[in-house]
């Protein structure tokens, strides 16, 4: 038979082929990977790798031998087109592949600031190649301006400051990580990052990158400006949906799937950063960008292919590391809560923020409180109903035996 074709050699694509083999699938698997590296993990790119504490080899999920031994063919090429009727994928360089099942794991790409193509010193961070360039330039210039105070921008800010660089972060919103963190968590990270030397320009509008002779020279915003030769734009991502769209599949903010992660063509699935699916915990269609989401969705689709189709139901969780602190998020903290209860010690840098919607716990952010995070995952996964009034009892230390 034609076998499985996976488009995209990122976190989701890697996990899919591995899960298929570990769940006993012994048919043909082809993994289309268009980057010039074997599949690798992205989280360290803005953490240990940028610091110089991890090498290219450390990032790889597996060696070439691993794929050969497990009979997975890695094809270093792009999928250029899909024909759902004949079940074939056309490759961009040469040839085509037929499939029984096709998994779209095309990920997302960084948004770019318009009108600045080819300007030196304006960088982006998504790939290993990007991270190599960012690290080289950072070591050369010793200063950086980061546009966007989301997780990615702040992780880079934190590492850059620790490397001794002068760091400025410019953000449109009045606080850090405003899309998914509570005000208490934003404040804590701002204080700790400032203590390490990061300077913030919050609530800044009209940001524009200045350049001269093809080289970045500075950044201006309404109310201020700074000279720099290195600017990192961390202004969000767009899902890679063109391939699906051109094949006639439904696409909105992501490739749309049903609760089983299938597109309208039942033999074609979409997983990871590129997929928008109905999330039972959030009660709406979402597109998530996390390792957890990529891994669990890949496992779910692999199980369906070997014959155990179940709706995708995993609880979303996420982590970030900045200023020597670990932030962990379970469930939904994206601003739909009516009440947020903060427990912990701001001074000590250890607290959790519990988000309630209609007096039901829907999400928890924890900073240096891993126990709260694990408890939150357990509660939210089992869909146990916890009200704000029940919280003190939940957090009380267990009585001594």
Binding residue (CB under 6 A) for ligand FAD from 13, 121, 316, 331: 13
Binding residue (CB under 6 A) for ligand FAD from 4, 10, 59, 144: 10
Binding residue (CB under 6 A) for ligand FAD from 190, 320, 322, 368: 320
Regarding 352 and contact with ligand FAD (CB under 6 A), the answer is no
Regarding 37 and contact with ligand FAD (CB under 6 A), the answer is no
Cα–Cα distance for residue pair 71/30, rounded to 1 Å: 9
- Work out how close the CB of 222 gets to ligand FAD at its nearest, in angstroms, rounded to a whole number: 29
Which residues ranging from 221 to 250 are in contact with ligand FAD (CB under 6 A)? 240, 243
Regarding 331 and contact with ligand FAD (CB under 6 A), the answer is no
Which region, judged by CB under 6 A, interacts with ligand FAD, from 9-17, 22-30, 220-228, 337-345? 9-17
Q: Are 255 and 268 in contact (CB under 8 A)?
A: no
Total residues interacting with ligand FAD, rule: CB under 6 A: 37
Which residues ranging from 131 to 190 are in contact with ligand FAD (CB under 6 A)? 152
Which residues ranging from 54 to 83 are in contact with ligand FAD (CB under 6 A)? 78-79
For residue 155, CA distances in Å to 213, 355, 373 come to 30, 24, 20
Regarding 49 and contact with ligand FAD (CB under 6 A), the answer is no
Kindly report the CA angle at 272 between 148 and 297, in degrees rounded to 5? 140
Cα–Cα distance for residue pair 91/101, rounded to 1 Å: 16
Binding mask 368-397 for ligand FAD (x = CB under 6 A): ------------------------------
Cα–Cα distance for residue pair 357/147, rounded to 1 Å: 32
- Work out how close the CB of 194 gets to ligand FAD at its nearest, in angstroms, rounded to a whole number: 22
> What's phi and psi for 213, nearest 5 deg?
60, 35
Q: Which residue has the tokens 């991890």?
A: 54
Nearer to ligand FAD, 228 or 292 (CB): 292
Strands (E), 182-267: 199-201, 208-212, 215-221, 224-227, 231-233, 237-239, 251-252, 254-256
Cα–Cα distance for residue pair 262/2, rounded to 1 Å: 19
- Work out how close the CB of 11 gets to ligand FAD at its nearest, in angstroms, rounded to a whole number: 3
- Work out how close the CB of 347 gets to ligand FAD at its nearest, in angstroms, rounded to a whole number: 26
- Work out how close the CB of 317 gets to ligand FAD at its nearest, in angstroms, rounded to a whole number: 8
Q: Are 127 and 47 in contact (CB under 8 A)?
A: no
Binding residue (CB under 6 A) for ligand FAD from 20, 29, 42, 287: 42
- Work out how close the CB of 206 gets to ligand FAD at its nearest, in angstroms, rounded to a whole number: 27
Q: Which long-range contacts (CB under 8 A, 24 or more apart) does 276-283 make?
A: 276/239, 276/252, 277/312, 279/316, 280/311, 280/313, 281/313, 281/315, 281/316, 281/331, 281/332, 281/362, 281/380, 281/383, 282/316, 282/332
Residue whose C-beta lies closest to ligand FAD: 10
Q: Which residues does 41 contact at the CB level (< 8 Å), separation at least 6?
A: 11, 59, 61, 291
Binding mask 257-296 for ligand FAD (x = CB under 6 A): ---------------xxx--------------xxxx-x--
Binding residue (CB under 6 A) for ligand FAD from 45, 82, 181, 323: 45
Could you tell me the two tokens for 230? 């290195």
Cα–Cα distance for residue pair 352/366, rounded to 1 Å: 4
Q: Where are the alpha helices (DSSP H) in 23-127?
A: 48-51, 56-59, 64-69
Regarding 254 and contact with ligand FAD (CB under 6 A), the answer is no
Binding residue (CB under 6 A) for ligand FAD from 29, 105, 149, 301: 105
Q: Which residues of the chain form contacts with ligand FAD (CB under 6 A)? A: 7-13, 32-35, 42-43, 45-46, 78-79, 105-108, 125-126, 152, 240, 243, 272-274, 289-292, 294, 318-320
């Amino acid at each position: 038979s034609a076998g499985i074709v996976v488009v995209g050699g990122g976190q989701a694509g890697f996990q899919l082929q591995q899960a298929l083999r570990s769940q006993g699938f012994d048919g043909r698997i082809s993994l289309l990977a268009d980057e010039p590296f074997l599949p690798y993990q992205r989280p360290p790119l803005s953490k240990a790798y940028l610091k110089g504490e991890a090498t290219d080899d450390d990032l790889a999920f597996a060696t070439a031998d691993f794929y050969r031994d497990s009979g997975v063919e890695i094809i270093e090429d792009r999928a250029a087109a899909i024909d759902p009727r004949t079940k074939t994928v056309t490759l961009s360089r040469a040839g085509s592949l037929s499939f029984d099942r096709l998994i779209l794991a095309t990920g997302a790409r960084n948004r770019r600031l318009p009108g600045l193509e080819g300007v030196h010193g304006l960088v982006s961070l998504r790939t290993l190649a990007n991270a190599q360039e960012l690290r080289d330039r950072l070591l050369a210039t010793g200063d950086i301006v980061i546009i966007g105070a989301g997780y990615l921008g702040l992780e880079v800010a934190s590492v850059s400051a620790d490397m001794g660089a002068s760091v400025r972060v410019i953000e449109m919103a009045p606080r850090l990580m405003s899309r998914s963190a509570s005000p208490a968590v934003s404040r804590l990270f701002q204080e700790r990052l400032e203590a390490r030397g990061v300077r913030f320009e919050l609530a800044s509008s009209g940001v524009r990158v200045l350049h001269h002779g093809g080289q970045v020279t500075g950044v201006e915003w309404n109310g201020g400006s700074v000279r720099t030769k290195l600017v990192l734009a961390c202004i969000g991502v767009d899902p890679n949906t063109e391939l699906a769209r051109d094949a006639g599949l439904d696409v909105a903010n992501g490739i749309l799937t049903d609760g089983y992660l299938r597109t309208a063509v039942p033999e074609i699935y979409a997983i990871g950063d590129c997929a928008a699916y109905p999330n039972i915990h959030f009660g709406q269609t979402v597109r998530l960008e996390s390792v957890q989401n990529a891994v669990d969705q890949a496992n779910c689709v692999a199980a369906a292919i070997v014959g155990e189709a179940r709706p995708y139901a995993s609880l979303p969780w996420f982590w970030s590391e900045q200023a020597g602190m670990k932030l962990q998020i379970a469930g939904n903290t994206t601003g739909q809560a009516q009440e947020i209860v903060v427990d912990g010690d701001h001074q000590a840098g250890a607290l959790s923020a519990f988000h309630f919607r209609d007096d039901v716990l829907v999400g928890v952010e924890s900073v240096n409180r891993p126990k709260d995070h694990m408890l939150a995952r357990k509660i939210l996964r089992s869909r146990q109903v916890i009200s704000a009034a029940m919280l003190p009892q939940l957090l009380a230390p267990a009585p001594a035996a």
